[in-house]
Amino acid sequence: MEWFNEQLDESIFDLGARISIKVGKKIFEGQSDFQKLEIYETPKFGNLMVLDGAVMLTEANEAAYHEMISHVPLFAHPNPERVLIIGGGDGGAAREVLRHPGVKECVMVEIDGLVVEKSREYFPTIASELDNPRLTLLIADGVKYIEENQSAFDVILVDSTDPVGPAEGLFSKAFYEKCFASLKEDGILAAQAESPYYFRKTQKELFEVLKSVFPYSTLYLSAIPFYPSGTWSFAFASKKYKQNEQVRTEAMEKMRPELRYFNPEVFYGCFALPTFMREVL
């Protein structure tokens, strides 16, 4: 046994901190055109996925991310039928979106086919819906894809890596202006918005962009082990409704037994922010 260490002290993190997980065998390592993918076995958390040295997910804790990036916007929308996922190559967000029977089509645009291929192989419970007939999976750059689909979606999820490398463009104003145009008139967007503790500059910049593009935006939280600080955030941006104005409460209650993290109380509570976190809004 040895330790996997995510070093939070280079590129965009300048913290001088580490996240360490005891691991067994490294069961895969590969370099795609976009990033380095590593997969480890762990004694306590199932398999671990790492992209460019950053923890993406563990089998044991992935629900805290995938349920929260998906069900918060989807239950806040009155009738989500067409959903777009940018990124999300492990398949977790798609799995959650497709739990909603009203979703007629989910389009998933993932830039790196290696992530999809290896998620199928090493994370079968996360990639479980990648062959669902309601899913259209495209291996493409989300920055480019979004330019070609006006008013096409009810909900857009930006399930990206950190704002470096291929994901840098997913934090730009031009990208969010295109997302706005790709949403229907009551569309809602959710995006992974990094650590509210350690990523304040990026969050401030992201919300400057969202506030300039959407009439309404806010932040919500999830507790995700092995992410920097363990507290993670998602941006919620909407063309028409606030998160509590059109809630599909019956459908939300009905899905409760299927889920590990998300539930109706969490839906309302996750928008309650500590004072210092509100400063980026």
The residues assigned a catalytic role are 159
Q: Of 137, 180, 135, 129, which Cα lies nearest the Cα of 156?
A: 180
Contacts 24+ apart (CB under 8 A), 177-180: 177/213, 178/146, 178/147, 179/146, 179/213, 180/213, 180/214, 180/239
| Residue 120 Cα distances to 48, 65, 111, 126, 135, angstroms | 14, 18, 16, 8, 15
Both tokens of residue 46?
């199932």
**Min separation Cβ 70 and ligand SAM, Å:** 10
Residues making up the chain, counted from first to last: 281
Q: Which residue is nearest to ligand SAM (CB)?
A: 87
Stated as kind and residue range, the H or E segment containing 170 is: none
By CB under 6 A, residue 195 contacts ligand SAM: no
Site pattern 119..148 for ligand SAM (x: CB under 6 A): ----------------------xxx-----
Toward ligand SAM, which CB reaches closer, 8 or 56?
Answer: 56
d(CA 202, CA 197): 11
DSSP symbol at 201: H
How many residues sit close enough to ligand SAM to count as binding (CB under 6 A)? Answer: 27
Kindly identify the residues of this chain, within the stretch 149-188, that bind ligand SAM according to CB under 6 A: 159-161, 166-167, 169-170
By CB under 6 A, residue 228 contacts ligand SAM: no
Toward ligand SAM, which CB reaches closer, 59 or 186?
Answer: 59
Note whether 96 and 66 are within 8 A (CB). Answer: yes
Kindly identify the residues of this chain, within the stretch 100-119, that bind ligand SAM according to CB under 6 A: 109-112, 115
Pick from 8, 21, 54, 57: which binds ligand SAM (CB under 6 A)?
Answer: 57
By CB under 6 A, residue 91 contacts ligand SAM: no
By CB under 6 A, residue 194 contacts ligand SAM: no
**Min separation Cβ 87 and ligand SAM, Å:** 3
Residue type, 126: I
**Min separation Cβ 195 and ligand SAM, Å:** 12
- The radius of gyration computed from the CA coordinates of the chain, to the nearest angstrom, equals 18
By CB under 6 A, residue 73 contacts ligand SAM: no
Stretch that binds ligand SAM, among 15-23, 57-65, 95-103, 206-214 (CB under 6 A): 57-65
By CB under 6 A, residue 96 contacts ligand SAM: no
Query: Could you give the residue ranges of the DSSP H alpha helices within the chain?
Result: 63-76, 92-97, 113-122, 142-145, 173-182, 200-213, 249-255, 264-269, 275-278
Contact set with ligand SAM (CB under 6 A): 34, 56-57, 62, 65-66, 86-90, 92, 109-112, 115, 141-143, 159-161, 166-167, 169-170
